[in-house]
Chains A and B, each alone.
Chain A
């Protein structure tokens, strides 16, 4: 799918310094997390009791080791893989669900649309963290289940955005024109309406990745998410709690990683919002 105004939008985006920084950081993080472990001489789960609590920059372990002598850099990279995989797949599933619900509700309106959107409102009423933890307590923890849980708690805002967009776009002349030419409802939604709502959808998607990474960290930190020995930024923080004074890097490093990833995605989302906002076109 191509955006009609992509060239000027891209220029606006590049001028947005923080967004460019965010995009660069995301690319580096992704490359680092997925390629880095192959270049590193240490495995993220190899225990080395002789080298426990090695501080960063103190030897072969660039970022030090944890309480079992495992290499922190390797663990951060593997944890980053988990976070990014969870972030992107949860976003993708949440977006798909949200777009589907929003498009159906916005297009059909009436009792079906009202019922769907009231359901969205009802789910939104729950505080996300408690909803997530309540659900997490019911299923066995793991990568797949955490992805599904996060997706299940983050599709509602997209549904709302898409519903509003579709509702207004379907009254537009080109949607009516498509109907006049005999296009089916599904065709009008997929070919005419959703492409025109792509800007707010992309922005929401970016922000949702950040949210998903943060939620995964919360849940893992509280012990319901990714289970040790598989590292994730959240459960590394959890481990680090007791060593906060003696080995502060155990907490600081995953904390920094989370902050970096989440702010990068948020900056990227902000930049995309500005770049794709038609009202900014005059600048």
Chain B
């Protein structure tokens, strides 16, 4: 993992203009992704993680109600500025994506083998037969048993886990450098989740692709991530390598998230319910002044946290945190 990052997002902001006023869905988000690295993007619903992925794929509606600013450099090319035909060549080629819902992400009228073959042919100059061969290879690679016999099955013949494998096969058909996985395991059974995570890790080792893994499941994060970006209210609030983040979260929000994960070793011994973070994600139309998290924060100081907005500052060479009091709290 040396050299320039494969993906370098700088000051990404997404605003939606609605009848109820401007909604800043993502504010001034910057992060980098190295080759072969897995970055987990974590946050509650409404924290802007999915909007970020859609913005990077340029899938947000192209009308005046949506404003996307900033840069997203994929190997030096700005995904947010290149013309649409060029973007189309990159989609599925250099940067690809897997969705949350495997049940609805496949075309119900086409056999899965043909769908994978089509994905192959979009970016690679193969004839029909070679594309079909390649599709069989890919389906085998993603662990579909008897892949060759499954080629002519329709999506409704397959289980959710199998369909997600097909989606992954399609996303990987052209060897992307970056794969965005938007909660790819959320809709699956726990045992299947583990299999899919395993598969993604194995494929990543094989192909060396970088993965942006969007999730709200910290268990999944611990399983797969090299580095973690915590988002809240459309902002990055903490960014750190996996182990330090789990052992010593700096931002009170991250600490709250970690505390709200049920833990096996505490089962039966803990008195009282699982601690939750009180309150809800702020309404993006009426962001609280100062630190966006302060109304829900156990450590907030009136007159300080609700007055000045904290900036994202470097805590050490690998970590960033957005909190006015992180030094006091860490001490």
List residues of A whose CB falls within 8 A of some B CB. 1-4, 110, 172-174, 176-184, 187, 191-192, 195-196, 198
Contacts and interface: CB of A to CB of B under 8 A. Distances in A.
B107 A182 contact: no
B96 A181 contact: yes
B107 A191 contact: yes
A4 B96 contact: no
14 contacts: A3-B109, A4-B109, A110-B63, A174-B107, A176-B59, A177-B105, A177-B167, A180-B91, A180-B99, A181-B96, A181-B122, A182-B89, A182-B91, A196-B109
B88 interface: yes
Contacts of A180: 57, 59, 91-92, 96-97, 99, 171
B101 A173 contact: yes
In order of increasing CB-CB distance, the 9 nearest A-B pairs are A182-B92, A181-B92, A195-B109, A182-B91, A173-B104, A173-B105, A177-B105, A180-B97, A174-B107
Interface in B92-110: 92-93, 96-97, 99, 101, 104-110
Nearest to A194: B109
Contacts of A4: 108-109, 154, 156
A69 B15 CA distance: 81
A181 B101 contact: no
Contacts of B52: none
A196 B105 contact: no
A184 B88 contact: yes
A94 B42 CA distance: 52
Contact of B173 (A177, A178, A181, A184): A181
B110 A182 contact: no
Nearest to A4: B154
Interface in B22-43: none
Query: What secondary structure prevails in chain B residues at the interface with A?
Result: loop
A92 to B, nearest CB: 21
Contacts of B183: none
A2 B111 CA distance: 10
Given A4-B154, A180-B57, A182-B122, A198 B101 contact: no
Nearest to A5: B156
B121 to A, nearest CB: 10
B123 interface: yes
B89 to A, nearest CB: 6
Contacts, number: 70
A173 B122 CA distance: 18
Interface in B104-127: 104-110, 118-119, 122-123
Contacts of A198: 109
Contacts of A179: 59, 91
A182 B88 contact: yes
Nearest to A184: B88
Contact of A173 (B92, B99, B170): B99
Contact of B99 (A110, A176, A191, A195): A176
A183 B122 contact: yes
Interface of A is mostly: helix
A183 B122 CA distance: 7
A19 B282 CA distance: 58
B96 A174 contact: no
Nearest to A174: B107
Given A182-B91, A183-B122, A191-B110, 8 more contacts: A4-B109, A110-B63, A173-B101, A179-B91, A180-B59, A180-B171, A181-B122, A195-B109
Contacts of A2: 109
B188 interface: no
Interface in B122-173: 122-123, 154, 156, 167, 170-171, 173
A182 B96 CA distance: 9
B309 interface: no
B154 to A, nearest CB: 5
Interface string B170-186: 11011000000000000
Given A195-B107, A196-B109, A177 B99 contact: yes
Contacts of B123: 182
Contacts of B118: 183, 191
Contacts of A191: 107, 110, 118
Interface centre among A173, A177, A198, by most chain B C-beta atoms within 10 angstroms, is A177
Contacts of B154: 4
B110 A195 contact: yes
Contacts of B104: 172-174
Nearest to A198: B109
| Most interface-central of A178, A182, A183 (chain B CB within 10 A) | A182
A174 B170 contact: no
B90 interface: yes
Contacts of B119: 181
A198 B154 CA distance: 16
B89 A174 contact: no
Nearest to B173: A181
A183 B57 CA distance: 13
A177 B106 contact: yes
Contacts of B97: 180
A90 B94 CA distance: 46
A4 to B, nearest CB: 5
B171 A181 contact: yes
B288 to A, nearest CB: 33
A167 to B, nearest CB: 14
Contacts of A3: 109
